[in-house]
Amino acid sequence: MDHQHRHSSSPRELQMARSMCWHCQSEVSGEYFCDRCVKVQPVSKELDYFTCMGFPRRLTIDPRQLESKFYELSRAFHPDFFQNKSAEEQTISLGNSAMLNSAYRTLRDPIQRAEYLLDLEAGAVKDIRTSPPADLFEEILELQDTLDEYRAADRASDTAATLCAKLQMERTTLERRQQDMENALQQLFTQWDILQDRGEATDQTRAERDRILKHMRDILSNRTYVKNIVNDLVATIS
Amino acid sequence: MARIVGIDLGTTNSLVAYMDKGTPRVIAGRNERNMVPSVVAMTDNGLIVGDPAKEHLTRNPARTVYSVKRFMGKSLADVQSELAYFPYTFTEQGGVIRFKLGEKTYSPPQISAMILKELKLRAETHFGESITKAVITVPAYFNDSQRQATKDAGMIAGLEVLRIINEPTAASLAYGLQEKTQGMVAVYDLGGGTFDISILKLKNGIFEVLATNGDTHLGGDDIDRLIADLFIDEIRERHGLDLHTYPDYMQAVRLEAERTKIRLSDVLKTTATLDLPDGKGRFTRELTRDQLESLTMGLIERTLAPCRKALKDAELTPEHIDEVVLVGGSTRMPLVRQRVQELFGKTPHCELNPDEVVALGAAVQADILSGGTTDMLLLDVTPLSLGIETMGGVMSSVIRRNTTIPAGAKEMFTTYVDGQTGVDIHILQGERELAKDNRSLARFRLKVPPLPAGVPRIEVTFLIDANGILNVLAKDMRTGQGQSIEVKPSYGLSDSEVEQMIEDSFKFAADDVSARKLIEARLDAGALITTTEKSLLEGGHLIASDNIAATRTALAALSAAKDGTDPRVIRARMADLEQAAKPLTVAHLNDSLTKGLQGKKVSEVT
């Protein structure tokens, strides 16, 4: 947590769609409003959410800082404050607000934030596919069979009781695995942030960076899969 | 900037409010009442609205519309189960319900527009200037069609609807401003026809809605219906009468059920009475609060599931909620308060009048839009997920429920067949998996240049604005050309229909105004006659006999004029009577003052 105070003290300037004011054609130096004619400027559609909200591409973000930035920008962009303005300004306000709301929603949640970062940074490895963890493959197949058997069994029978006990054990195992994955993700987030903070661009850091992203991608893919299985399991035995 | 008023267009009652130097206030009518009953009657003398129309509920049930809000943005099929409860004839045209009142048919937005016009007139009378801009509230759980219908109603009434805001959030604005509420707030809003729950975070002037849920067909009306059904059953048993065949008595029993319910919020036991048709005498029924509660418990329970869902969506538990606010007349019921208190584990707030707080909040929002209030900002959410129908009739979510608005999302579309020139898009709203189980909002056809399959790339932007209303834009990614889309609403009026209704409303406005002037003059004359006769009775001995004679002559003249059709004549005779009765009024007033002061201590006389 203590890294980010250093960074947030100098957030990147918000990039605008054009460097020139759409209204008075004077140069816009990078704030949300033109210095000269004070008209709101459209946030570029190509702008990433981190830059949009003035945060570096880090995976640990203080939720309170994010919230106060969200509130600050909402006060700047919200259509409520453009009721008396021109139609162009109202359209820009609407677009900027919608973009800001998407940015906040994505960055607020650590998992969505990581998935979004992967999409931005990881290039070829960015696709997150819901897939089972390789080492658990056999176990999960077996679990699916047990689940089917249990569903077919008479609930009052001894067989069902045995199956249920077995499923309970599987549940404990999987939930432990989920916790492990969360911890591993946290570690990767920290590693990514340290690397980002160093800001070096050597071959070594590039390789390290790719390793982190790929590992993160794998965990995120497994995570969703295991989550679905656990939900299914809990719904069946409860 | 022209003045903007805040309007609560309710199922049972409607109000208009404005911001008076930092304090929101409701504008009272000439009858000094703050609420306009949301009732419209088509009489032989034209349309009447509000309190006078309410009298027609039992007199002319087939031509008196109430609870029109339940029909906004709905098709006949949507409300099939409750049509039997309403005494008028329904038809449908282009997916929109129409009420048949006499010779003509009216859509729900047209009926709502008549209520809005009444409120507009109230505001215009109050300010002595024309009012053309308004903020109108809707239930938070209203879907796109219902919001659009409300906006249409505003347009038909000659109001530019600058913003549609959600009722519970409006209430939170009023509480935030007047009671300085902060922290996590749950607003429980049970009105005449709708139920909403909204969970908000209030911090430094920002009102951020975290989640909302509700039921747009659950409210006081349903409670009245349960009580009325109980009475109807007992009348059948005891008197051998089926009230269903007497539309006027059906209304009378509904109104008596409502009054009984209201009384039981204050007392533990009350007696409902109803005169029966065909000389069958009178039905009386004692009802206790316990009986009412066991009758309505199920309905009130139905509000708790949405509360739990909203908490879950906000990722909160009841312990996180700092304040609970009650809104809507139905929250006066002790059982409602008790259940809400049990759910959230804290005593709910009801410092602000639950009937007025929504209108007050709408006035605050109006002030924000006009630039008066700058430190408050409402960040609301869309209550329902927005999606499109995909292959196999499945709904694919584009914007999830409880997303902060304005909210945008883009989807890319292409073709499956060579030379295909259009892609049909079906927009849906709801939480169910299958397209058919969700609300159909609109359909439109994307125009695509004839190219090999998969080559065209059309980007469609779905944008939900700050009113919670959907806008759709399409762009051909190959050419960068925008494309205008004609969206055909599934359950709404088309633009040209709205245009026509606006035109009609102007055409009939002149007739309506004169009809209304006559009705109002008659009502005022009646009131003046009653008070003068009362004064004569009580204070006749205080004045000279020629004064009495003059007063009696003027009274007779006004009575005669009241039966005529010229409101100006009625007003003139009223002025005559007031003049003639002046000595009586003064003497009577002095007399009652003196009497009133007798027996009081000096300290009480201020």
Residues of chain B with pLDDT under 70: 1, 484, 486-487, 505-516, 596-606
The whole-number pLDDT of residue B602 equals: 46
* Among chain A residues, CA nearest to B2: A84
pTM equals: 0.81
Domain C-terminal end among A108, A136, A151: A108
Which residues of B are marked as active site? 8, 69, 167, 189
Select from A68, A69, A83, A108 the residue whose CB has the most chain B CBs within 10 Å, as the one to mutate to test that interface.
A83
Give chain A positions within 8 Å (CB) of B404: 101, 104-105
The answer on A184 and A82 residing in a single domain is no
Q: Could you give all domains of chain B from N- to C-terminal order, each with its CATH number? A: 4-218+302-379 (3.30.420.40), 220-301 (3.90.640.10), 384-493 (2.60.34.10), 501-597 (1.20.1270.10)
Q: What is the pLDDT of residue A5?
A: 38
Which one of A72-86, A215-229, B515-529 scores highest in mean pLDDT? A72-86
Check pLDDT > 80 for residue A19: no
Q: Do B463 and A105 touch (CB under 8 A)?
A: no
Q: Do A84 and B378 touch (CB under 8 A)?
A: no
Other Cβ atoms closer than 10 A to B200 = 32
Same domain, A80 and A157: no
In the prediction, which pLDDT does B603 show?
47
Cβ of residue B124 closer than 8 Å to a chain A Cβ: no
* CB contact B404 to A (< 8 Å): yes
Q: How confident is the model at residue A238 (pLDDT cuts 50, 70, 90)?
A: confident
Which among B120, B130, B109 is positioned nearest to B29, based on CA atoms?
Answer: B120
Beta carbons of B371 and A80 less than 8 Å apart = no
B362 burial level (CB within 10 Å; 0-12, 13-18, 19+): buried
**B367 to chain A: closest CA residue:** A80
Q: Which of A119, A111, A5 is nearest to A56 (CA)?
A: A5
**pLDDT range class, residue A30, cuts 50, 70, 90:** low
- Contact criterion met (CB < 8 Å) for B403 and A104: no
Q: What is the DSSP letter of B193?
A: S
Among A75, A108, A141, the domain-final residue is A108
Say yes or no: A144 and A102 in one domain. Answer: no
Asked whether residue A118 is assigned to any structural domain, the reply reads no
B406, A98: Cβ pair inside 8 Å? Answer: yes
Same domain, A200 and A231: yes
Quote the pLDDT of residue B598.
59
> 3-class DSSP state for residue A122?
coil
A102 CB neighbours in chain B (<8 A) are: 407-409
Q: Which two tokens stand for residue B168?
A: 């519970």
State which residue of chain A sits closest to B407, comparing Cα positions: A98
CA B224, CA B296: separation in Å to the nearest integer?
Answer: 9
Within a domain: residue A115? Answer: no
Q: Is residue A166 part of a domain?
A: yes
Cα within 13 Å of Cα(B368), Cβ side:
28
Please tell me the distance from the alpha carbon of residue A59 to that of residue A54, in angstroms, as a whole number: 14
> How far apart are the CA of B406 and the nearest CA of chain A, in angstroms?
5
Pair (A133, A103) in one structural domain: no
Q: Is residue A55 part of a domain?
A: yes
Best mutation site among B404, B410, B461, B473 for testing chain A: the one with the most A CBs within 10 Å? B404
From chain A, pick out residues whose CB is under 8 angstroms from the CB of B211. none
- SS3 string of B439-482? EEEEEEEEECCCCCCCCCCEEEEEEECCCCCEEEEEEECCCCCE
What CATH code is carried by the domain that includes residue A27?
Answer: 1.10.287.110
Neighbours of B430 (CB within 10 A): 20
Q: Taking CB atoms and an 8 Å cutoff, what residues of chain B touch A97?
A: 406, 466
Residue that finishes a domain, picked among A79, A108, A137: A108
- Alpha carbons A145 and A140: distance in angstroms, whole number: 9
pLDDT at B1: 63
Phi, psi of B145 (to 5 degrees): -65, -40
**Closest Cβ–Cβ partner in A83, A99, A101 for B162:** A83
Is pLDDT at A1 greater than 60 in this prediction? no
Residues A33, A134 share a domain: no
Interface confidence (ipTM) of the complex: 0.81
| B408 touches A: beta carbon within 8 Å | yes
Q: What is the domain range of residue A199?
A: 127-237
B320 φ/ψ angles, rounded to the nearest 5 degrees: -75, -20
List all residues of chain B from 446 to 475 with a beta carbon under 8 Å from chain A.
463, 465-466
**Cross-chain Cβ contact B369/A104 below 8 Å:** no
First to last CA, chain B: 43
Residue A88 belongs to some domain of the structure? yes
Contact B256, B304 (CB under 8 A): no
Angle CA(A131)–CA(A136)–CA(A140) in degrees, nearest 5?
A: 80
Q: Which residues pair with B46 in a beta bridge?
A: B43
A-chain residues within 8 Å CB-CB of B379? 74, 78
Same domain, A143 and A43: no
Contacts of B465 in chain A (CB under 8 A): 79, 94
Whether residue B378 lies within 8 A of chain A, CB to CB, comes out as yes
User: Is there a single domain that holds both residue A132 and residue A104?
Assistant: no
Nearest CA in chain B to A94: B406
How far from each other are the two terminal CA atoms of chain A, in whole angstroms?
A: 39
Q: How far apart are CA B574 and CA B529, in angstroms?
A: 9
Same domain, yes or no: A39 and A94: yes
Residue B369 and residue A80: Cβ atoms within 8 Å? yes
Interface residue ranges in chain A relative to chain B, Cβ cutoff 8 Å:
71, 74-75, 78-81, 83-84, 94-95, 97-99, 101-102, 104-105
More confident residue, B396 or A153: B396
User: Is A190 within the bounds of a domain?
Assistant: yes
Determine, for residues B370 and A94 on separate chains, whether the beta-carbon distance falls below 8 Å. Answer: no
**Dihedral sign computed on CA atoms, order A116, B144, B95, B90:** positive
In a domain, A222, yes or no: yes
- pLDDT tens-place string over residues A103-113: 999 999 999 99
A91 with A134, same domain? no
Mutate to test the interface with A, among B210, B367, B373, B377 (most CBs of A within 10 A): B377
Q: Which of B377, B409, B463 sits opposite A80 (nearest CB)?
A: B377
* Whether residues A99 and A137 fall in one domain: no
- Judge whether B372 is closer than 8 Å to chain A, CB to CB: no
Do A101 and B404 lie within an 8 Å CB cutoff?
yes
CA–CA distance, A158 with B299 (Å, rounded to integer) = 42
Q: Is residue A119 included in any domain, yes or no? A: no
Helix (H, G, I), strand (E, B) or coil at B132: coil
For residue B10, give the nearest of B220, B181, B172, B203 by alpha carbon.
B220
Concatenating the DSSP letter of every residue in B198-264 gives EEEEEETTEEEEEEEEEETT-SHHHHHHHHHHHHHHHHHHHH---GGG-HHHHHHHHHHHHHHHHHT
Rounded to a whole number, what is the distance in Å from the CA of B69 to chain A's nearest CA? 26
- A83 and A159 in a single domain? The answer is no
Chain A partners within 8 Å of B405 (Cβ)? 101
d(CA B133, CA B137): 13
User: What is the b/e burial string over B380-398, where b = at least 16 CB atoms within 10 angstroms of the residue's CB?
Assistant: bbbbbbbbbbeeeeebeeb
Q: How many domains does chain A have?
A: 2
Helix (H) or strand (E) segment spanning residue A204 = helix A203-237
Residue among A96, A81, A236 at smallest CA distance from A168: A236
